[in-house]
Amino acid sequence: MNETEDTLTEDSPVTRDNPVTQNTAQRILPVADGRQVKAYVREVLVTDRRELAIVVGLYAAATSAGLVAPRMLGDIVTGVQHHGTTAGSIEVLAAIIALSLVAASILTRYGALAGARFGESLLARLREDFVDRVLRLPLSVVERAGSGDLLSRSSRDVAALSQSARYALPATLTAALSVALTLGAVALDSPLLLVPCLIVVPPVWLASRWYLRRATAGYLRENAAWAEITESLAETTEGARTVEALRLGPARRRRADADLAGSYAAERYTLRLRSVFLPAAEASYVLPLAGTLAFGGYACLRGWCTVGQVTAGALYAAALVRPMDELIQWLNQLQTGNAALARLLGIGQVAADREPGGDRPRDEQLLADQVRHSYRPGRDVLRSVSLRVRPGERIAIVGPSGAGKSTLGRLLAGITAPAGGRVTVGGVELTRLPLEDLRGRIALVSQEHHIFRGTLRENLTLAALDAGDAEVLAALTAVEASGWAQALPGGLDCIVGSGGVALSSAQAQQVALARLILADPHTLILDEATSLLDPRSARRLERSLAAVLDGRTVVSIAHRLHVGHDADRVIVLEDGEIRESGPHRELVRAGGAYAALWESWHGAADAVSRH
Ligand code: ADP
């Protein structure tokens, strides 16, 4: 069991039935453990060891130069005590002190510069690494994890890590170096005076140990609680219309209150840790100075050391306060950074759902072979579905809601890997194809699509970067959208998406289809891709789309059965299984499930058109 888990149960204000712990337990995205974080930090520091050595070298030189002055002052005191000091010798010592201080300032400046450069490059690498990890996340995991956790990891955790990499790490290193070198200087001055300096070690060690055993878990909980707030806020904003329509306002507010209470409890816990640890640590700083003066005085009287040595020792003890204070403060920041890094590294631990191999599909034949899928253990949504889609064939998948049609569509598009069986194109499993290659072959348009903030042209050429205006306009014409698109202010240059011209859901669906035409894959999976248009426009769009897509393989999932009428083959899916399969006419003639569906749909459609 690692330290994080260990401390969760011990001395924790957050109980098992508190929302914070519960939500943490539900997290889809993992969090790295202490050992993994350490290994990663070590690896990163080793990679940057040259820069690190320069920072350490400069600070060591700066600190050493700063340590000359107390020693010289001690020598002056000794000289005065023994009446062996002349004005000339004091001037020489004063000049050495002045020079050492100037050297210390210059070296500190360059040390700080090198430290900042080191921190920035470290941060840049951590960020790039994080982006790589996020981009490798399987889509299904992103969907399950929800946006809040990922958003808070990529905003708050990255910010906390920035603080640590930019400031805390270089500052901690230099403060630790200062403490070590100052103690070294005390040892050179008088080894005996190390004793009062070292009495600070046990209390600081105990306080730090107490704190560190609890801090990472505390900060992890704090960040998880923050993710919860982000998640619920994002959900409320995205679903604002539903919230308003169903008068969910008070319920959402209660949820926000509960999230805030969870966050408050988590923040209070770390605040309590800090409020015990920091004063305890700070109180210990004065111990070396007080100890050196008291013990040094006694040692002087006993003739164990000179007044000059005690003077230098006391100055060194006083000089320990600042780096020790910094060390403690940054240690706290490092803990926050540590928790953030654990969450960011956790993203990389999600198992990839794709493993690109070197095999090339021999043709464009899409095949689902005894495919099984479930979202929850023991509840199969698809059961042994086998489907061979001939290149150029137009297939309609119909069936009642919840039958598993969308799931099959996602498996056929390679978005989700099946839990059992295989989905192949040209003999190669979809999950073994590099994503770029797969998307060039098979693409899916579902009801959910996104208009990115940018020009309409940019939104369309996402899928085909080098498409010219003529191609873009042709694609818009094919989806019956050229009329409204050209009427937009600025036409293709019109800024759409959040903050720009708001497109209606139907228009957004047309944009998604036009993107698909530009991407030009050989197989298209259309999952209710025209459902947001009114029936008449949808029918028109489907006809013009069919003309453009002639020769392409099209799998349409639809509840409007005219899609089945227009297709080469209809697949009826019920309860996760293929019940019927064949051309529209044959199935209607057979008088089975499809015939019944067609009868009721046709009757209803006729009734609608009569009114
Ligand atoms: P259809 O498209 O035919 O309506 P779906 O494939 O969307 O069917 O869903 C089939 C079943 O799987 C339904 O019971 C649905 O509740 C469930 N389901 C779909 N998506 C998810 C998901 N992401 N997590 C859990 N269950 C899901």
Instruction: Give the CATH number, domain containing residue 504.
Output: 3.40.50.300
Q: 382 C-alpha vs ligand 1 centroid, how far in Å? A: 10
Q: Whose CA is nearest to atom 16 of ligand 1?
A: 402
Rg (alpha carbons) of the chain, rounded to whole number: 35
Q: 407 C-alpha vs ligand 1 centroid, how far in Å? A: 6
Q: Give me the DSSP letters along 359-388.
A: ---SS--EEEEEEEEEEETTEEEEEEEEEE
Report residues of the chain scoring pLDDT below 70.
1-27, 83-85, 604-611
CA distance linking residue 363 with residue 603, whole number of Å: 42
- 329 and 418 together in one domain: no
Q: Give me the DSSP letters along 464-516.
A: -TT--HHHHHHHHHHTT-HHHHHHSTTGGG-EESTTSBPPPHHHHHHHHHHHH
Kindly state whether residue 212 falls inside one of the protein's structural domains: yes
- 170 and 299 together in one domain: yes
Q: Is 405 in the pocket of ligand 1 (CB under 6 A)?
A: yes
- 40 and 120 together in one domain: yes
Q: Which residues constitute the domain of residue 297?
A: 9-18+30-349
Kindly state whether residue 200 falls inside one of the protein's structural domains: yes
- 385 and 312 together in one domain: no
- 169 and 310 together in one domain: yes
Spell 425-461 as b/e; 16+ CB within 10 A means b.
bbebbbbbbeeeebbebbbbbbeebebeeebbbbbbb
Q: Whose CA is nearest to atom 6 of ligand 1?
A: 404
Q: Whose CA is nearest to atom 22 of ligand 1?
A: 375
At 383 the pLDDT is 93
Q: Which of 349, 377, 400 is a domain's end point?
A: 349
Tens digit of each residue's pLDDT (9 = 90 or more) over 25-38: 345 788 898 899 99
Indicate which atom in ligand 1 lies nearest the CA of residue 140.
23
Name 328's Cβ contacts closer than 8 Å, sequence gap at least 6: 204, 208, 277, 278, 281, 282
What CATH number does the domain containing 45 carry? 1.20.1560.10
- 284 and 388 together in one domain: no
Q: Which of 293, 321, 349 is a domain's end point?
A: 349
At 601 the pLDDT is 78
Q: Is 406 in the pocket of ligand 1 (CB under 6 A)?
A: yes
At 278 the pLDDT is 86
Kindly state whether residue 355 falls inside one of the protein's structural domains: no
- 443 and 471 together in one domain: yes
Q: Is 332 in the pocket of ligand 1 (CB under 6 A)?
A: no
Name 460's Cβ contacts closer than 8 Å, sequence gap at least 6: 467, 472, 475, 476, 492, 511, 514, 515, 518
Q: Whose CA is nearest to atom 19 of ligand 1?
A: 407
At 351 the pLDDT is 80
Q: 557 C-alpha vs ligand 1 centroid, how far in Å? A: 14
- 329 and 456 together in one domain: no
Q: Whose CA is nearest to atom 15 of ligand 1?
A: 402
Q: 399 C-alpha vs ligand 1 centroid, how far in Å? A: 13
| Tally of domains within the chain | 2
- 240 and 296 together in one domain: yes
Kindly state whether residue 318 falls inside one of the protein's structural domains: yes
Kindly state whether residue 360 falls inside one of the protein's structural domains: no
- 91 and 177 together in one domain: yes
- Contact of 471 with 520, CB cutoff 8 Å: no
Kindly state whether residue 458 falls inside one of the protein's structural domains: yes
- 103 and 216 together in one domain: yes
At 606 the pLDDT is 59
Kindly state whether residue 404 falls inside one of the protein's structural domains: yes
- Contact of 300 with 45, CB cutoff 8 Å: no
Q: 404 C-alpha vs ligand 1 centroid, how far in Å? A: 6
Question: Coil, strand or helix: which one is 11?
Answer: coil
Q: 402 C-alpha vs ligand 1 centroid, how far in Å? A: 6
Q: Which of 349, 378, 406 is a domain's end point?
A: 349
Q: Whose CA is nearest to atom 7 of ligand 1?
A: 406
- 505 and 392 together in one domain: yes
Kindly state whether residue 23 falls inside one of the protein's structural domains: no
At 24 the pLDDT is 41
**DSSP code for 168:** I
